[in-house]
Chains A and B, each alone.
Chain A
Amino acid sequence: MTTVLDSLNSALHSAMESDPRLYVLGEDLLDPYGGAFKVTRGLSTRFPERVLTTPISEAAILGAATGMALRGLRPVAEIMFGDFVTLIADQVVNHAAKFRWMYNDQVRVPLVVRAPMGGRRGYGPTHSQSLEKMFLGVPGLKVIAPSALGDPGALLLAAIADEDPVLFVEHKLLYTRPLLQAGQGDLADFALESGGDPFPYFVLRPPAPPRLTVATYGYNFELARAAALELMMEHEIFCDLLVFSQLSPFDLTPLFASLTQTRRLLTVEEGTLTLGWGAEVAARAVETVSGLQVRRVAARDLPIANSRPLEDAILPQVADIVAAARSF
């Protein structure tokens, strides 16, 4: 059984093996620890000169990665907890993502920042957030998020191959998840299509005509899938499920095809509701598809509490998705 963690880890191994320009940098990366979530495990043993364990200096990690990328290397930086992307914001927004366009396309900044995001582990207000929404729509930056569908490692390799800076968002709860195969387990009832290159999207089509379209990404696909099954089994409501791996820039073409059929859009994300991913998806969908109704399921606009019952009440749950789908 391959997990998302295995897939990401072996992608880093193969990338370092095949490209001597690839460097990995971040906090506590050295073996035997191999990074806080073990995504970089084994790298420092095999490639000691190209794995740089850093001081606790997130801004300098990103700035250094940017400089390395400008001058011919391919850095992959790890931010230990995605919550700390606030500390790299200036380096990402005003440096890395700016240079290509500002310098008249004369330069490239091919770097990847990996950031484990997400809650549901009782880590409290500063170690549980999904802050990727703050980086959506930043010109010059791509935001990519794997799910348990497809090949997360291949997605990371595509991010590494990209000529522009990429924020690669890994939900912590995904790491231990097995990769999902079409036609197996709880995907058995759905037909799986995919497209989009190099950052694919997936469409899961139910066995009967869909009443609504659910759009999501990352770990929250696990919740959306559970909700879709419940809606199908218990309420005879069928959903098209659209799972994106490219969050920004927004390319929603595959969504519009489904919406033309259902005219009902439900977005699901773990970041806070206001001005989230779903807000932009909804705005673009409404501009494109006539007669559309929209619901958004997201975290409440609150910090994430440490106490589990409070954390559960703040973050979106399967029941919230089911209720929103039934409210159309």
Chain B
Amino acid sequence: MTDNFALYRTMLLIRRFEERLLAEFSTGKLVGTTHTYIGQEADAVGIFSVTDPDDIVFSNHRCHGHFLAYGASSPQGSDPYRLAAELMGKATGLVGGRGGSQHIQWRNFYSNGIQGGIVPVAAGMALAEKEQQSGKIVLVFIGDGTLGEGALYESLNLAALWRLPLLVVLENNRYAQTTPVELAVAGSMAGRFAAFGIPVWERETSDVLEIQSAAREAVAHVRFGAGPAALILHTYRFMAHSKGDDTRSPEELTRIRQFDPLTIHAPRLSPAERDAAEAEVSALLAEAFSRAASDPFPALTTDHRTLNTEH
């Protein structure tokens, strides 16, 4: 998936999927929580355009975009239907409705909603792949705010000591929930990795092609067996952290829209191609959401009931 149309189409799929979710939350069709990827689409789409379909991914709370982009790199293609079903709590969801928005698993894709804790797990996965000589690499996604968690640094040390095939993708969208990066991160982001001798690829861009080229180099380094690497992408989150919790000023929200990855990439397509992408995505999502909506809810099995409080 390297051509401009495919890159655009997957970014658009993520954008429209997330917009649809926010709409469903605001009309009460969905409950619980969600963290949208709107504004950051170029990160995952650029990265998964240069990975192998069998590579391994550990994602975080903001995982829908990572998942849809990962799917696009696989032979099966993205599966917005199973993701929508998961968010609706349906039995047909990615993990049968048990996990919901932040806790999904599909093929070699995993996510969890605890900041930081996924990094040592990803390091262990990388060790397993290395020991089994599978040639697969592990990508783990963290945000700027997650630089606060100590488990991250313990894992970077292990990964460097043991030369693990681990790529840490740090998406700096400049906020952790409502906390601006200036109040949460002292010193240098790249310097944190450099201290462990981990090479860093760093880009300040929302252009999917620039991200793709940086990711290609970082992935090649890790795949070559040269040990872990870090890819630091400075980006923007356009919508609230989860749903209604945005404390940024309207001016700031307007200003950052100039870094819209879709607008940046769109001129590389003809108007007809853009229309075709829009039509394809909209048909896919309409089908996904209506099919998921009519699916059944899960129930506890008798196995579970034996563990219960009944007498």
Contact = CB atoms under 8 A, between A and B. Distances in A.
Interface in B80-117: 86, 89-90, 93, 96-103, 112-116
A301 interface: yes
B98 A300 contact: no
Given A310-B89, A310-B299, A123 B33 contact: yes
B97 A305 contact: yes
Interface string A260-298: 000000000000010000000000000000000001111
Contacts of A298: 309
A316 interface: yes
Contacts, number: 139
B185 interface: yes
Interface in B182-235: 183-185
Which of A32, A36, A303, A307 gathers most chain B CB within 10 Å? A307
Where chain B touches its partner, the secondary structure class is loop
Contacts of B27: none
Interface in A58-117: 59-60, 83-84, 87
Given A32-B247, A295-B311, A309-B299, A300 B304 contact: yes
Interface stretch (B4-12, B37-45, B67-75, B173-181): B173-181
A300 B103 CA distance: 20
A310 B300 contact: yes
A300 B311 contact: no
Nearest to B87: A306
B77 interface: no
Given A59-B150, A306-B32, A53 B179 contact: yes
Contacts of B307: 300-302
B8 to A, nearest CB: 32
Contact of A124 (B101, B115, B305): B101
B258 interface: no
Interface stretch (B16-24, B46-54, B140-148, B164-172): B140-148
A324 B31 CA distance: 30
Nearest to B246: A33
B113 A307 contact: no
A21 interface: no
Nearest to B117: A87
Contact of A28 (B90, B112, B179, B311): B179
A301 B299 CA distance: 16
Interface string A99-141: 0000000000000000000000111111100000000000000
A27 interface: yes
Given A123-B33, A300-B308, A55 B114 contact: no
A303 B99 CA distance: 10
Contact of B103 (A121, A295, A306): A306
Contacts of B150: 57, 59-60
B245 A33 contact: yes
Contacts of B298: 305, 307, 309-310
A290 to B, nearest CB: 21
Contact of B98 (A83, A122, A125): A125
A55 B147 contact: yes
A123 B93 CA distance: 16
B162 interface: no
Contact of A324 (B90, B97, B183, B311): B311
Contact of A327 (B178, B179, B245, B311): B311
B169 to A, nearest CB: 17
Nearest to B183: A53
A302 B184 CA distance: 35
A57 B89 contact: no
B275 interface: no
A264 to B, nearest CB: 13
Contacts of A55: 145, 147-148, 176, 179, 183-185
B32 A123 contact: yes
A308 interface: yes
A191 interface: no
A126 B297 contact: no
B280 interface: no
Which of A30, A296, A309, A327 gathers most chain B CB within 10 Å? A309
B32 A56 contact: no
Contacts of B98: 125, 303, 305-307, 310
B148 A273 contact: no
Contact of B90 (A123, A273, A297, A307): A307
Contacts of A301: 307-308
B102 A124 contact: yes
Contacts of B247: 32-33
Given A56-B115, A300-B307, A121 B32 contact: yes
A297 B37 CA distance: 40
Which of B89, B101, B102, B311 gathers most chain A CB within 10 Å? B89
Nearest to B176: A56
Nearest to A310: B298
A55 B96 CA distance: 34
A298 B307 CA distance: 11
Contact of B99 (A54, A125, A295): A125
Given A28-B179, A126-B114, A273-B309, 8 more contacts: A33-B178, A36-B177, A56-B145, A60-B150, A121-B32, A300-B300, A305-B298, A310-B299
22 contacts: A27-B176, A55-B145, A55-B179, A56-B184, A59-B150, A123-B32, A124-B33, A124-B100, A124-B102, A125-B113, A126-B102, A126-B103, A126-B113, A305-B100, A306-B32, A306-B86, A306-B89, A306-B101, A307-B96, A307-B298, A308-B89, A327-B311
Interface of A: 27-28, 30, 32-33, 36, 53-57, 59-60, 83-84, 87, 121-127, 273, 295-303, 305-310, 313-314, 316, 320, 324, 327
Instruction: Kindly list the 5 A-B residue pairs having the minimum CB-CB distance in the complex, ordered from nearest.
Output: A306-B100, A307-B89, A55-B148, A307-B97, A122-B32
